[in-house]
Amino acid sequence: MFDAPYLALFGTAFLAATLFPAQSELVLAYLLQSRPEEWPWLLAVATIGNVIGSSVNWALGRWIEHFRDRRWFPVSRKSLDRAEAWYSRWGKWSLLLSWVPFAGDALTLIAGMLRAPFPTFLLLVSLAKFARYAAIVLIVFGAGSI
């Protein structure tokens, strides 16, 4: 069941949630079209890979904060400031935007930097990531064909 395409999806979803660019939505959409009967497994693998990637960001945020002004820091000052503003204004609920490209990655890093409790982080990020991938499933199949 879990062959190379599943590993590719997991890896792409994982990378897409970290600070590296990757297009997991395209991989998921392709696999949904080539393996439509496996959509629940594909949804689960993409979600789990993406949540684990975001958890890596949270963990990095716990210890990398003192490097934020270095040139090599993986998040731009603009993205970091925007994510910090969202997190300051909306608190933990801003993690529901963790699916947003670029800013969402920064939000998960900020959550770690600001010492967000991991269980809360995990729940909110999991909901956000699942919803994004579920939307891809619905777009590929249409709401009435699942």
Residues belonging to the chain: 146
Paired tokens of 3:
């062959």
pLDDT digits (tens, 9 = 90+) for 105-131: 888 988 998 889 999 999 999 999 999
The predicted pLDDT at position 55 comes to 97
Does some domain include residue 130? yes
Q: Are 18 and 57 in contact (CB under 8 A)?
A: yes
Does some domain include residue 93? yes
pTM score: 0.85
Q: Provide the domain count of the chain.
A: 1
The parts of the chain modelled with pLDDT lower than 70 are 1-2, 65, 74, 143-146
Determine the Cα angle at 54 with ends 95 and 141, to 5°: 80
The per-residue pLDDT of the chain, averaged, comes to 89
Separation of CA 66 from chain center: 24
Phi, then psi, of 9 in degrees rounded to 5: -65, -45
Q: Which residues contact 83 (CB under 8 A, 6 or more apart)?
A: 75, 94, 103, 106, 107, 109, 110
Q: Are 126 and 44 in contact (CB under 8 A)?
A: no
Q: Which domain holds residue 66?
A: 4-141
Which residue has tokens 């949270």? 58
pLDDT digits (tens, 9 = 90+) for 64-74: 867 777 777 76
The predicted pLDDT at position 1 comes to 56
Does some domain include residue 146? no
